[in-house]
Each structure stands twice: as structure tokens, then as C-alpha cells.
A and B are shown apart, each in its own frame.
Chain A
Amino acid sequence: MSFLFYIFSALALVGGIGVVVSRNPVSAAFSMIVSFLGLAALFIQLDAFLVGTLQILVYAGAIMVLFLFIIMLLDVREEEKRRRPIINMIGAGGVVLAFVALVITVLSRGEIGKATLPPLTVTEGPGTSDVHRIGELLFSQYWFPVQVVGVLLLVATVGVVVLSKKELK
């Protein structure tokens, strides 16, 4: 099924390029959604159904809707006309080149991609899906980080509520 891999990675890449290239902010946000969908499909191809579904549910379905919501309230025409100074493009290009060089160095040097991983034991029936496994891991081995993240999110929520109130009483 490798042709599916090529289709979906092409989708993710085209979306990613679209984010950078398109002048219209709505098109950029929309390309990002396309890229997320491609990524989710790649996760699902790896049998990581939960990760793939959450990718769509959280990123494509919730966060990008809010992005689009805000962008639509802006003046899109103004944004399309804006000129970018050449120095910005050179800077951005430099960052991209440095990142690509970094990735190539890491991938060519290390043992990544060469080491043989232990074969996965696939079992059928209830209680063996990836949802069950991730859930068990989160609430047994990683229970403490989960609690910490929960408290952090709560703090963030309270903070947003306080900040968005116009005047404190």
C-alpha cells in the first residue's frame, strides 16, 4: 500500500507549501488544514488510529476553525497587497537552509533508520486496540505527567478568563 503513502505525504507537503506561498491568509489557513489531513492519514496508515483521529479532531476540527474565524474578521485584501522586504525573505531562506542541513546531518550520522526494532506483537479482540493501550499507559506509567498537564491546562483556562475580562472587580 505504498502508493497511499506517497499520495498522503504529497498532500501533506502540498498543504505545507501552500501555507508559506499563498498570499491570501484564508488560503494559507486552509492549506494548513489540508496538510493536517495528510498527516492524519499517514498516522492511520501506521495503524495509529487514535493519534490520527485526534489530529483531525483537535487540530483540523477545533484549532484551525478558531484560526480561520479570527482571520476572516481581518481585512484580507490589505494583507494580500502588503509588500515583503527582501531582507525578510533572505532571513527566512537562511533559517530553512540551516534546518534542512541539521536534519540531513542528524539522519546521515545516527543509527536512526538502520537499527532493527523488535517486531510488534499484534493481537486481536477487545482490550487490545491502540486506544486501550494508550489509555493504560497514560493512567498507569505516566499518571503523574497527565495530572501535571491537567493542572497546567486548568491554570491556562483560568488565566484566559481573567485576562479576557475587561475590568476586574
Chain B
Amino acid sequence: MDWHIIIAAVIKIVVFVFLVTLPMVAMSVWAERRVSAAIQDRVGPNRVGPFGLLQAVADGIKFLLKEDFTPNHVNKFYFWLAPALTMVPALLTCAVLPFGSQLFGEKMVIADLDVGPLFVFSIASLTVYGIVLAGWSSNSKYSFLGGVRSTSQMISYEISLGLSIVPLIMIYGELNLGRIVQEQAINGWALLPLWGEGLSLKGFILAIPIFISFIIFTTSMFAETNRLPFDLPECETELVAGYHTEYSSMKFALFFLGEYAAMIIGSGLAVTLFLGGWSLPFGWLAPSGIDAEIPWWHGLIHIGTYFAKVIGFILFFIVVRWTLPRFRYDQLMRLGWVFFFEIALFNVVLTAILLAIFK
């Protein structure tokens, strides 16, 4: 192992995870409040800094300075562990997302694994422990019900989430996210095959199963991140605040931020798989191959494109939250097991048949 590989990895981790993703988490809280205000015909936070942009800093200071209260009836060890367990997996999954093509000959991905989407799913499946342990260790019935709801919800939707991307993997024959994006840059994004080899009968017909996948993937992502219309684990009209009822100050904030971090990673994965990741539309400035040399300013544009797409997707998440009402729990489970699971399975078979017809 050479030192320059380790140093490059450390720089990428610090810049991508700590200097970009974490501030994005804070900023998406601000965006959520501003967008919700706009939808409800209010103004929203606009006092701290220009357009209220520094509201996130004020919120952070407030959370840190508040009294950190641990109730007497909780299981101390797991009560302290749970908030960390929701935040850490969300940030770990950043490792395999390609957030740009190359910069100075260095691939813009922290770990260029050949099992990209599987890695994201496996680490994201650990997020559930944070919520379950929070619900259990709080020793209160509302928290516990929230934790139980969240467990069954996340396990159910993990299945449709995993199955929904199988057609995509069959079409690309590849589990390396970097190579999937490179393929999309040249031959059309999975959802918009409008250039390169995608501009053909095969490309258009294969876009049908991909579109079904996209719908299932996005909806399951809402359920996995516990966001409205699927935020049953913290449903305030029934469960006070669900699994984080007993939490206060920074420990509560970690749950809150973990949800947004999971949302950002989910958006990143959706953009990477379905909307061409860092690539510009119509093959503009697309590198000819995964290892082809490109000028540094192309690399910067690719990084900018990726984050622009992710921000667009986060805004979509936020608008959905303030538009749709909450589901009932049995409706949520029926949607997951009776509709999405079957449609995703059918979609895999459909893709296999289409791939056999258009070799």
C-alpha cells in the first residue's frame, strides 16, 4: 500500500464527507423549512444571515447548549449508542458513491468497489439498529411502538428496494457504480436514453422496466428514510414523537440529522443509478472511457453536475413531504408486500425477456 493512495483517500473522505455532505445535511434542514414555508404561504426562517442561510449554525449551537437530559428509567448504554448508530451508517455509505469523474487523474470516489449498490444496501440496513435500540432502551411504550414499526417497515421495504435495481444491474451487467455512470455518460442516462447507443428501439423499450424500477426505488427510499408519507415510526398524532420521544438536545439532533443524511445518500444513489450520476446530458464533456484522461475543469464540472442533481432530488423529497398526507400503517405494509414486491419481481422477469429478445 503506497502512502499517496492513503493520503488521497483521506483527502477525499474529509472533503466529500465532512466538508460537503455534512454541511449539505444542515442546509437541507434549512431548505426543508423554507420550502415548507413557501408551500404553506409562510416566510420561514429568514433572520440569521442572508435569506436565513445561517439558521443551521444557530440550530446547531442551540442543540449543543441545551441541557442533555437522560431519563432515569432508560438503559443508559444503548440510550447513548442509538443516536450514533443512526448517523454513522448513513455517512459510511458515502464511500462508494462516485461524486465526479476524475480530478488530476484521481477517481472521484472514495472506495471504487465492485459491489457498489450491495455495499450501500448492506450498510444502510444497519441504520435500523439505531432506531430499534432507541425505541427499546427508552423504556417507554410510545418509543417502543415507534421502534417496532420502524423495524418491520424497514425490513419490508429493503426487499423491494433491493429487487427494484436488479433490472438495472441486468441491463448494465455491472455492479461498479463508476462504470455504470461512465456507460450512462456515453450511451444515455438510464431514464433518458436520448443519445449514443441509447437512441435506438432497444434503448427506448428497455427504458420501460427502468422506469418501473425508478418508481419502486424512489418510493421505497421514502419508506427506508422514514419520511412522509411513510413516517409512521415517529407519527406524532399517535406516538408523541415515536422512537425519539425521550431524547433531547444533541442526541435528538443526531436522529434528525441521520434522517437527512440517509436522504442525501438515497438521492445520491438514485441519481447515480437512474439519472447519470456526474454526467452531463447528451454526452457533453463525457470522457471516452473510465480511465481516459480529461482536463481538470471537466472534472470540476462533473462534480458540480453531481451535486446539482442531488440537490434537485432532495428538493423533490422535501416537496413530496409537504404535499402528501401520511399513510395508515396497514396501507403501508400492503403497499410494500402486496404491490411493490410483486411488481419488482415481475419487472425482473420482464427485463430478462426483453434482454433475450434484443440481444
19 additional contacts, CB 8 Å, given A62-B125, A129-B176?
A49-B119, A50-B118, A53-B115, A53-B122, A56-B125, A57-B118, A61-B126, A61-B158, A62-B158, A65-B128, A65-B129, A65-B154, A65-B155, A69-B132, A72-B144, A72-B148, A126-B176, A129-B114, A129-B175
Pick the contact of A131 from B144, B154, B175 — CB < 8 Å? B175
Distance in angstroms from A59 CB to nearest chain B CB is 10
Pick the contact of A126 from B115, B121, B123, B179 — CB < 8 Å? B179
Q: Is the CB of B158 within 8 A of A131?
A: no
Pick the contact of A66 from B114, B118, B155, B174 — CB < 8 Å? B155
A14 touches B (CB below 8 Å): no
A79 touches B (CB below 8 Å): no
Within 8 A of B (CB), among A126-140: 126-127, 129-131
A60 touches B (CB below 8 Å): yes
Q: Is the CB of A62 within 8 A of B118?
A: no
Taking CB atoms, residues of chain B closer than 8 Å to A168 are none
* Majority secondary structure, B binding face: helix
Distance in angstroms from B138 CB to nearest chain A CB is 12
Within 8 A of B (CB), among A113-169: 126-127, 129-131
Q: Is the CB of B151 within 8 A of A65?
A: yes
Q: Is the CB of A68 within 8 A of B132?
A: yes
Taking CB atoms, residues of chain B closer than 8 Å to A72 are 132, 136, 144, 147-148
A30–B82 CA distance with the chains assembled, in angstroms: 12
B113 touches A (CB below 8 Å): yes
Chain A residues within 8 Å of B, Cβ to Cβ? 1, 26, 30, 33, 49-50, 53-54, 56-57, 60-62, 65-66, 68-69, 72, 126-127, 129-131
Pick the contact of A130 from B114, B126, B129, B144 — CB < 8 Å? B114
B1 touches A (CB below 8 Å): yes
A90–B279 CA distance with the chains assembled, in angstroms: 65
Q: Is the CB of B125 within 8 A of A49?
A: no
Q: Is the CB of A60 within 8 A of B126?
A: yes
B78 touches A (CB below 8 Å): yes
Q: Is the CB of B113 within 8 A of A49?
A: yes
Q: Is the CB of A61 within 8 A of B125?
A: yes
B119's closest neighbor in chain A, by CB?
A: A53
Distance in angstroms from A145 CB to nearest chain B CB is 21
Within 8 A of A (CB), among B61-83: 78
Pick the contact of A57 from B122, B148, B151, B175 — CB < 8 Å? B122
Taking CB atoms, residues of chain A closer than 8 Å to B132 are 65, 68-69, 72
Distance in angstroms from B92 CB to nearest chain A CB is 11
Taking CB atoms, residues of chain B closer than 8 Å to A65 are 125, 128-129, 132, 151, 154-155
Distance in angstroms from A115 CB to nearest chain B CB is 28
Interface flags for B125-151 (1: CB within 8 Å of A; 0: not) read 110110011001000000010011001
Q: Nearest 5 pairs between A and B by C-beta?
A: A61-B125, A129-B114, A57-B122, A56-B122, A49-B115
A127–B115 CA distance with the chains assembled, in angstroms: 12
List 26 A-B pairs, Cβ < 8 Å: A26-B133, A26-B136, A49-B114, A50-B118, A53-B119, A54-B118, A54-B122, A57-B125, A60-B125, A60-B126, A61-B122, A61-B126, A61-B128, A62-B125, A62-B158, A65-B129, A68-B132, A69-B132, A69-B151, A72-B147, A126-B173, A126-B176, A126-B179, A129-B176, A131-B115, A131-B175
Distance in angstroms from B291 CB to nearest chain A CB is 10
User: A57 with B121: in contact, given A72-B132, A126-B174 (CB under 8 Å)?
Assistant: yes
Taking CB atoms, residues of chain B closer than 8 Å to A131 are 114-115, 175
A129–B158 CA distance with the chains assembled, in angstroms: 25
